[in-house]
Amino acid sequence: MTRILVVEDEPGIAFALDADLRSEGYAVTIATTGDEALRLAGSATYELILLDVMLPGKDGFEVCRKLRRSEVRTPIILLTAKSHEAEKVMGLEMGADDYVTKPFSPRELRARIKAVLRRSTDEPGEVVRFGDIDVSVARCEVHRGGQVVDLSALEFKLLTAFVRSRGRVLTREQLLDEAWGRGVVLNDRVVDNHIVGLRRKLEADPTKPRHFLNIRGLGYRFDV
């Protein structure tokens, strides 16, 4: 059974989430504070954590950061009350996998949960296909219509970061960390220029990208 830790201090929302997720067949544990969430996530195994940002005491960002620092890799979906772009970017940089803005529909949340769970159970050796492109991250190979595509090392690292996080927004800073290395200081434009290169090699029509999408104010998302 898939276990989900729900961290939510508002009893009404926690109750509704609990009922809805149980009806979908998930095993649900509720935590109402950040400290309780940290204790539970550190001592039991969950397949997913739904984490409210606005919590008394330690907020969701702090909980997220602490979990990642202590090597807890459980996928996290943040529940954000505001639609502020800055808050979403911050959540992603703290190591969250996705976010859902309150108020959300149960259907939307279920879809996000399924997408995040699917990504986290992918086989590392698999081949990812989009358009006429096949990518094997394990073998460092990219083919287009059966022909090898010549990517630079940086382009391949960027592509790997996208493939591993498909369907999820990555900030320019996260892409810089993944491809160039943590702590390397470069202009964000460098990322944009390399994505232009990836689109030219991998999109059917680079002027109308369907896979490497710019998400205004946030960064980029790769869709299969």
Between 10 and 141, name the residue whose CB sits nearer to Ca ion: 10
Between 106 and 197, name the residue whose CB sits nearer to Ca ion: 106
Site string for Ca ion, 52-91 (x = CB under 5 A): x-x-------------------------------------
The whole-angstrom separation of Cα 31 and Cα 187 is: 40
Q: Tell me, what amino acid is at 174?
A: Q
Between 52 and 87, name the residue whose CB sits nearer to Ca ion: 52
Q: Exposure of 23 by Cβ count < 10 A (0-12 exposed, 13-18 middle, 19+ buried)?
A: exposed
The whole-angstrom separation of Cα 39 and Cα 28 is: 16
Between 21 and 198, name the residue whose CB sits nearer to Ca ion: 21
User: What tokens appear for 45 in the block?
Assistant: 């195994």
Is 36 a binding residue for Ca ion by CB under 5 A? The answer is no
Shortest distance in whole angstroms from residue 53 CB to Ca ion: 7
Is 9 a binding residue for Ca ion by CB under 5 A? The answer is yes
Q: Which stretch binds Ca ion (CB under 5 A): 6-14, 129-137, 142-150, 160-168?
A: 6-14
User: Could you give phi then psi for residue 181, rounded to 5 degrees?
Assistant: 110, 145
Is 47 a binding residue for Ca ion by CB under 5 A? The answer is no
User: What tokens appear for 95 in the block?
Assistant: 């190591």
Task: Tell me which residue has its CB nearest to Ca ion.
Answer: 54
Between 87 and 155, name the residue whose CB sits nearer to Ca ion: 87
Helix axes of 11-23 and 106-120: crossing angle, nearest 10 degrees:
60
Is 100 a binding residue for Ca ion by CB under 5 A? The answer is no
DSSP codes of every residue in 187-219: -HHHHHHHHHHHHHHH-SSTTS-SSEEEETTTE
Is 134 a binding residue for Ca ion by CB under 5 A? The answer is no
The whole-angstrom separation of Cα 127 and Cα 181 is: 25
Size of the site for Ca ion (CB under 5 A): 3
Between 9 and 178, name the residue whose CB sits nearer to Ca ion: 9
Is 213 a binding residue for Ca ion by CB under 5 A? The answer is no
User: Residues 6 or more apart from 34 whose CB is under 8 A from it?
Assistant: 7, 55, 57, 58, 59, 60, 62, 63
Shortest distance in whole angstroms from residue 103 CB to Ca ion: 12
The residues that touch Ca ion, with contacts defined as CB under 5 A, are 9, 52, 54
